[in-house]
A and B are shown apart, each in its own frame.
Chain A
């Protein structure tokens, strides 16, 4: 019967969502007069109860074991291609190293920052404590999503060392910095994002990295996660992202990156 078809549909719906008062009243009335549908309705009730109570089966222990053994085998195969092994350095100990490096830089006076207004529209105040005096300021290191009417960014380079960039275009969101355990430990503030982008553009692609290195932290940027690591001597910085790109190395980028981070005071080392 066409009517029964309609009531059957109501029964299927009733399991997930309430019917309207009219639908419910009609269904109740129909069940009193139609034995077939009443029987079907009992089946719906019983079936729903049985499915909800169906205990989840326990997976066999060899499921986990098999997966992890296979992963171990595959990781061995691909380790030389990508940086896969290494220790995890305490973020705090690295911050200590970075801070020391900064002090040295300040002492020798080679740290130079430069900012320049371009396109004549920016009204942002010049960041304080910036020192002009750059020989080969590079243009076009601007923010990735530059808006018309905002100022450009120029990365300053000292005589021998790139350091940091200044900012003009405030990006709405800072970049999240996490330690290797995934805990947020700070940000790269919006004004430092162009310099961060410039840093990623630099360096030498080395494809993979073997030997002792320590993962420091990760930074989410433009839909990817970038992982940064350094060697035991905390001199060189290597990084890679989660898109199968090769490892990049830069001997001088460590201090640059340190300068960009705005870490929470209570950043917990991993």
Chain B
């Protein structure tokens, strides 16, 4: 969905054609759901949070002024819903992304080297476990940056934090996660490489 199509859909909804909201949900559900999943670590909670976020977006669509991306505005609503849920639950959520749920996260093709497949799988599992142990604010920042590919500024708009704060939060999250991986030793022992450590423009849309 281009920005123009998005704008057109928003106008149609505001003009009373509420069915047009469906195209906005379809275009953004993956980003919203994955942000919620990253923060809440439960598929059921992520579904509930995503639906609540879209409903808040519908009810508050008049307040969207178009000075930020619609997706960023939606992520902010999603983030607030997730924080509310985390506060209400009053506890750090344990990972429920284990067992058969793991299947949905596997890449379809890892090549034919079974050892490589196993290493990657173990690594992902270790990273997820490490993410589960991060404070929600750190986990949220890292999800938005490394999984959703947003800029510091956009993350600041979503979380209400200054870009400098966002940056330091992301760095601290990475350090915590890297330390967790070295403590558990559950990662590939290949040689360090600047190429793999650098982001290298691999933003995801």
Contact = CB atoms under 8 A, between A and B. Distances in A.
Interface of A: 8-9, 11-16, 18, 24, 31, 38-60, 62-64, 66-68, 70-72, 74-75, 83-86, 88, 178, 180-183, 215, 218, 223, 225, 227, 242-244
Contact of B55 (A13, A24, A56, A70): A70
A51 B22 CA distance: 30
A70 B11 contact: no
Contact of B182 (A43, A64, A181, A215): A43
A8 B172 CA distance: 10
A244 B59 CA distance: 11
Nearest to A9: B171
Contacts of B30: 56, 58-59
B171 A67 contact: no
Interface of B: 4, 7-12, 14-19, 21-22, 25-26, 29-34, 37, 43, 47, 50-51, 54-55, 58-59, 61-62, 65, 104-107, 120, 123-124, 127, 130, 142, 145-147, 167, 170-172, 174-175, 177-179, 181-182, 187-194, 196-199, 202, 204
A47 B193 contact: no
Contacts of B31: 56
B11 A218 contact: yes
B147 A63 contact: no
A243 B187 CA distance: 53
A47 B127 contact: yes
Contacts of B172: 12
A156 B146 CA distance: 61
5 contacts: A38-B192, A44-B178, A54-B147, A55-B106, A64-B22
A40 B176 CA distance: 11
Given A42-B190, A223-B65, A243-B62, A15 B199 contact: yes
Contacts of B192: 31, 38, 41-42, 45
A12 B187 contact: no
A83 B187 CA distance: 59
Contact of B196 (A12, A49, A180): A49
Contacts of B187: 42-43, 46-47
A178 to B, nearest CB: 6
B51 A63 contact: yes
Contact of B171 (A12, A71, A88, A223): A12
Contacts of A64: 22, 25-26, 29
Given A47-B181, A64-B25, A182-B12, A71 B55 contact: yes
Nearest to A16: B199
B99 to A, nearest CB: 15
Contacts of A46: 123, 127, 181, 187-188, 190, 196
B175 A12 contact: yes
Contacts of A63: 25, 29, 33, 47, 50-51, 54
Contact of A50 (B123, B190, B199): B123
B205 to A, nearest CB: 10
Nearest to A85: B16
B190 A55 contact: no
Residue among A11, A67, A70, A180 with the highest chain B CB neighbour number at 10 A:
A67
Contact of A47 (B26, B54, B104, B174): B174
B104 A56 contact: no
Given A43-B178, A64-B29, 10 more contacts: A12-B170, A41-B192, A51-B146, A52-B202, A57-B34, A60-B47, A64-B25, A67-B25, A83-B16, A182-B9
B127 A182 contact: no
A52 B203 CA distance: 8
A59 B127 contact: no
A44 B197 contact: yes
Residue among B120, B170, B192 with the highest chain A CB neighbour number at 10 A:
B192
Contact of A70 (B51, B106, B120, B124): B51
B174 A84 contact: no
B127 A50 contact: yes
A51 B149 CA distance: 10
A181 B29 contact: no
Top 9 closest pairs, chain A to chain B, by CB: A182-B8, A59-B33, A51-B146, A12-B171, A182-B11, A43-B181, A46-B187, A242-B62, A43-B178
